[in-house]
């Protein structure tokens, strides 16, 4: 039977052999730090492979040694995650930030230049601008709407074009849903590559989860996730993942072993459980988001809605990027209320079903105020330029019935306008 099944059909079984676990239908939590070798020869062989001391024999897999190096919960999780993005390999981490920082540290060295899209997730932005410079790594940035030529000029103007080692982007941008062109970013990386230096493209794909955007198909070398968001999806675990080719993930796992920031068996087990419902959750979230956006688009107390589904032909390049690289409008909506901070706060304080919290991608709907919460660290001028003002609310749409979500938003908007 050669049928290539869809990822959602394989999330309950792929990579797990019940006969190795007393017939248990579910993969147990392998809560163990170390693994017993059958004999000394086996231990020797496992270490040779783990440390790359000799090439792997045909069909020889990395044996279980020690849970900082590998563990069945993590290996099965990594195998399942590769299916959504059709990646060769995956490495899971104890947080999204540990996946991101490990990749940056592995592929950058003193003197190198890193090109980033702006804005980035606050934690990534901080690490890149405040911590990497301590190691002599330089940063250049471009923003939404800049053309390939303009971006190439930014790199050339830095005087360090020959030191460009990585292009790192995040799309859609948080919280405005502005899109960065993945294919164009790859062309820029290729433009600055040479025979002895490949410039890698890394994409933080957290906002679109593994379902709605597949950066490797658009040319990316590495995909990064905060698995805390859609992949985990229940607001009960912090985790991260990195996907790419065998060659690149081998390097990432090498550094992970020495930083010791792999996910724990318990985290791996929670994510295995989450993956079984990833498709159904995200389908409902995307459907709900379309309904909620439609409601917001027509509400008199709402000034502007930032939602991928609102892009049309007249938005030009943004629309075309969406058509090329996004398979859905996603589950994130930002909107400006008519009014000021006080009005936005009245709205947030009046919500009954939707929780006032940061983070995203979970089963419950969440609302927050980017200007004073997630993006308070972004300097005020840039915030204005990105239209992250006191009027903006960010919504992460959950799996509740959309009529109840809309009811809640409607009653909170009424309280806001009546005050
Ligand atoms: C949350 C988030 C991160 C950081 O992930 P953690 O799991 O919180 O460490 C990185 N990038 C994006 C886009 C995020 O939303």
**Is the peptide bond preceding residue 122 cis, with omega within 30 degrees of 0?**
no
Name the token pair of 80.
């399942």
Render pLDDT for 337-364 as a digit per residue (tens, 0 to 9).
999 999 999 999 999 999 999 999 999 9
d(CA 340, ligand 1 centre) in Å: 28
Enumerate helices (H) and strands (E) in the chain, giving the number of each.
14, 12
Q: Supply the residue whose CA is at minimum distance from atom 7 of ligand 1.
A: 96
Render pLDDT for 122-171 as a digit per residue (tens, 0 to 9).
999 999 999 999 999 999 999 999 999 999 999 999 999 999 999 999 99
How many angstroms separate the CA atoms of 304 and 338, rounded? 9
CB neighbours of 186 closer than 8 A, spacing ≥ 6? Answer: 167, 201, 218, 219, 220
Domains located in the chain, CATH noted: 67-275 (3.40.640.10), 278-418 (3.90.1150.10)
**Is the peptide bond preceding residue 300 cis, with omega within 30 degrees of 0?**
no
d(CA 227, ligand 1 centre) in Å: 8
Q: Supply the residue whose CA is at minimum distance from atom 6 of ligand 1.
A: 96
CB neighbours of 233 closer than 8 A, spacing ≥ 6? Answer: 274, 277, 278, 281, 361, 362, 363
pLDDT at 379: 85
pLDDT at 51: 86
Which ligand 1 atom minimizes the distance to the CA of 360?
A: 15
**Is the peptide bond preceding residue 172 cis, with omega within 30 degrees of 0?**
yes
Cβ(120)–Cβ(170) below 8 Å: yes
Angle at 381 between CA 372 and CA 150, to 5 degrees: 125
d(CA 226, ligand 1 centre) in Å: 4
Give the mutation target among 168, 226, 334, 396 for probing the ligand 1 site: most ligand atoms within 8 A of CB: 226
pLDDT at 1: 64
Q: How many CA atoms lie within 13 A of 314 on its CB side?
A: 1
d(CA 96, ligand 1 centre) in Å: 5
d(CA 206, ligand 1 centre) in Å: 7
Q: Which residues of 171-208 are buried (b: 16+ CB within 10 A; e: fewer)?
A: bbbbbbbbbbbbbbbbbbbeebeeeeeebbbbbbbbbb
How many angstroms separate the CA atoms of 48 and 299, rounded? 64
| Residue with tokens 């490495």, as numbered in its chain | 91
Residue ranges around ligand 1 (CB below 6 Å): 95-97, 121, 123-124, 170, 174, 204, 206-207, 226, 228-229, 238, 240
Q: Supply the residue whose CA is at minimum distance from atom 4 of ligand 1.
A: 96
Q: Supply the residue whose CA is at minimum distance from atom 1 of ligand 1.
A: 226
DSSP-derived 3-state class of residue 44: helix
Give the pairing of strands 240-244 and 89-93: antiparallel
Give the mutation target among 121, 179, 227, 241 for probing the ligand 1 site: most ligand atoms within 8 A of CB: 121
Q: Supply the residue whose CA is at minimum distance from atom 5 of ligand 1.
A: 96
> Which residues in the chain show pLDDT less than 50?
none
Reported residue count of the chain is 419
d(CA 80, ligand 1 centre) in Å: 20
d(CA 360, ligand 1 centre) in Å: 9
How many angstroms separate the CA atoms of 184 and 363, rounded? 33
Helix axes 265-275 and 72-85, enclosed angle (nearest 10): 40
d(CA 204, ligand 1 centre) in Å: 9
Q: Which residues pair with 90 in a beta bridge?
A: 243
Name the token pair of 29.
């939590």
Name the token pair of 125.
């932005």
Q: Which residues of 63-101 are buried (b: 16+ CB within 10 A; e: fewer)?
A: bbbebebbbbbbbbbbebbbbbbebebbbbbbbbbbbbb
CB neighbours of 46 closer than 8 A, spacing ≥ 6? Answer: 37, 62, 63, 64, 65
d(CA 190, ligand 1 centre) in Å: 27
d(CA 98, ligand 1 centre) in Å: 10
Question: How many Å from the N-terminal Cα to the C-terminal Cα in the chain?
Answer: 65
Q: Supply the residue whose CA is at minimum distance from atom 2 of ligand 1.
A: 226
How many angstroms separate the CA atoms of 370 and 392, rounded? 7
Q: Supply the residue whose CA is at minimum distance from atom 8 of ligand 1.
A: 96
């Amino acid at each position: 039977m050669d049928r290539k099944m869809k990822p959602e059909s394989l999330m309950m079984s792929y990579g797990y052999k019940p006969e190795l676990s007393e017939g248990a239908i579910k993969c147990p939590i392998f809560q163990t730090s170390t693994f017993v070798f059958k004999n000394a020869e086996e231990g020797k062989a496992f270490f040779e492979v783990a440390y790359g001391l000799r090439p792997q024999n045909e069909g020889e897999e990395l044996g279980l040694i020690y849970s900082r190096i590998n563990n069945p919960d993590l290996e099965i999780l990594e195998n399942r995650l590769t299916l959504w993005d059709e990646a060769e390999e995956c490495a899971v981490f104890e947080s999204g930030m540990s996946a991101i920082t490990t990749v940056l540290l592995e592929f950058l060295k003193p003197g190198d230049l890193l090109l980033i899209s702006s804005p980035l997730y606050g934690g990534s932005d901080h690490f890149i601008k405040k911590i990497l410079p301590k190691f002599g790594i330089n940063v250049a940035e471009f923003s939404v709407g800049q053309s390939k030529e303009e971006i190439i000029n930014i790199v050339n103007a830095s005087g360090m074009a020959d030191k460009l080692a990585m292009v790192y982007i995040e799309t859609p941008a948080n919280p405005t849903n502005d899109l960065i062109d993945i294919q164009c970013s790859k062309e820029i990386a290729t433009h600055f590559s040479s025979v002895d230096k490949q410039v890698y493209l890394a994409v933080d794909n957290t906002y679109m989860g593994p379902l709605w955007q597949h950066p490797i198909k658009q040319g990316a070398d590495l995909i990064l996730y905060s698995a805390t968001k859609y992949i985990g999806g229940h607001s009960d675990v912090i985790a991260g993942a990195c996907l790419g080719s065998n060659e690149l993930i081998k390097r990432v796992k090498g550094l992970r072993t020495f930083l010791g920031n792999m996910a724990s068996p318990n985290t791996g087990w929670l994510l295995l459980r989450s993956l079984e419902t990833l498709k159904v959750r995200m389908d409902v979230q995307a459907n709900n988001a379309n309904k909620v956006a439609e409601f917001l688009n027509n509400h008199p107390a709402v000034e502007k809605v930032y939602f991928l589904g609102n892009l049309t032909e007249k938005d030009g390049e943004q629309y075309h990027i969406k058509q090329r690289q996004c398979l859905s409008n996603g589950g994130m909506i930002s909107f400006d209320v008519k009014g000021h901070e006080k009005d936005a706060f009245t709205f947030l304080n009046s919500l009954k079903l939707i929780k006032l919290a940061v983070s995203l991608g979970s089963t419950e709907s969440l609302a927050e105020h980017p200007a004073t919460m997630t993006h308070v660290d972004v300097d005020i001028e840039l915030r204005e330029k990105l239209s992250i003002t006191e009027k903006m609310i960010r919504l992460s749409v959950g799996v509740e019935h959309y009529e109840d979500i809309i009811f809640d938003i409607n009653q909170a908007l009424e309280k806001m306008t009546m005050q």
